[in-house]
Amino acid sequence: MMGMDYVMGVDAGSTYTKGVLMNEDREIVALDVTLTGANINNAAETIRRKLLEKSGIRETDVKLVVGTGYGRYVIRFGNIQVTEISCHARGAHYLFPNTRTVLDIGGQDMKVIRVNERGDVVDFVMNDKCAAGTGRFVENIIKSFGLNFKDANDLALKSRRGIALSSTCTVFAQTEAMEHLAIGDAIEDIMYGVFKSVITRAVGLITRVGLTPELTFTGGLSLNPIAVKILETMLKTKVNHSDMTMFAGAIGAALYGVEKLEAEKYIG
C-alpha cells in the first residue's frame, strides 16, 4: 500500500530465528523462520531478506526493526531490543485477545507470564537454569532415538501407557529413556514420557504464578499436538495454540515497534 510504514520483529532464539513484517495498522504481511545455527546475525539477515522477498516491500519502507530473544543484541540491523518476556506476552495477546496466562517453552528456557487485558506483563516466572523442561531437552532425547519432532509426536499420540521419566537431568533422562527401550518398553510410551516430563515442569511453573484463563501456549513445542494434549489433561482446561504461536515473540516485537512509530508521529 502506498505510503504505508512497516516494522520488522525478529525473535533470535537459541534454536530458531523467527521474523514478522507488520504494517502500521498492526496487520501481519509476512512471516518466516530459519534455524539459528552458529551465527545469529546471519540467521537474522536471512529472515530479513525472506520477509522483504515475500512481501515485496522496499527496505526503505521498513522504518524500525525490533529484536527480541536471547540473541537480540547480536542483530546488527536491529534498532531497538525488547525482552522476550514482554514480546511473548504481547504476541500471545495479539493472537488470542482473551489471553491472561502465557506458557512459552523455548529451546533453552521455559517461562510462564501473567498478562492483563492489554497484554502487559503482570507477573512471570522462568526456568533457565536447567535444560530439562525445554525444547532442547526433548530434541536431544528424540535425536538419540533417530527421530525428529514429528516422528516423536506421532508415536507419543499412540501411547497406551505413558512412562514416567524420573531423571530431571538431560543426560540422565536420555540414558533412562534408552534403558526403558532396552527392557522392552514401547517406544510410543517412552516418547509420551519425554513430552510429559517437560509439561510436568511447565505445570509446576504455572502453579507458582497462578493460572488465570485463558492460557496460551507459545514457542516451538506448542506445535506438537501431544504436548498440548498433555497440558490440557493435566490442567483440565483448554489451551490456546495455533501454527502462529511459535511466532509470538516476533509478533510482540513488531507490535512494540508499531507503538514506537505511533508515539514518534504523535510527538512529531
pLDDT tens-digit series, residues 59-99 = 999 999 999 999 999 999 999 999 999 999 999 999 999 99
Q: What is the pLDDT at residue 127?
A: 85
Q: Closest by alpha carbon to 95, among 202, 252, 253?
A: 252
> Which residue is listed with cell 499412540?
158
Question: What are the residue boundaries of the structural domains of the chain, listed by start?
Answer: 6-129+202-267
Global pTM reads: 0.94
C-alpha grid cell for residue 166? Answer: 524420573
CATH class of 6-129+202-267: alpha beta
Distances (CA, A) of 69 to 147, 158, 201, 241, 256: 27, 34, 21, 20, 14
Residue 216: strand pairing partners = 102, 240
Is the pLDDT at 108 greater than 90, yes or no?
no
pLDDT, greater one: 131 or 84: 84
Average pLDDT over residues 178-198: 95
Lowest mean pLDDT across 78-82, 97-101, 136-140, 232-236: 136-140
Q: Closest by alpha carbon to 190, among 178, 203, 202?
A: 178
Q: Distance between the two ends of the chain, CA-based, in angstroms?
A: 23
Q: Which amino acid makes up residue 88?
A: H
Average pLDDT over residues 33-46: 97
- Return phi, psi of residue 188, to 5°: -60, -45
- 6: exposed, middle or buried (Cβ count in 10 Å: 0-12, 13-18, 19+): buried
Q: What is the pLDDT at residue 135?
A: 87
pLDDT tier for residue 129 given thresholds of 50, 70 and 90? low
- Pairing between β-strand 6-12 and β-strand 239-240 as defined by DSSP bridges: unpaired
The answer to whether the CB of 24 falls within 8 A of the CB of 3 is no
Q: Which residues contact 127 (CB under 8 A, 6 or more apart)?
A: 109, 110, 111, 133, 134, 201, 205
Q: What is the pLDDT at residue 3?
A: 73
C-alpha grid cell for residue 169? Answer: 537431568
Provide DSSP, 78-104.
-SEE--HHHHHHHHHHHHSTT--EEEE
Q: Closest by alpha carbon to 7, among 42, 56, 57?
A: 57
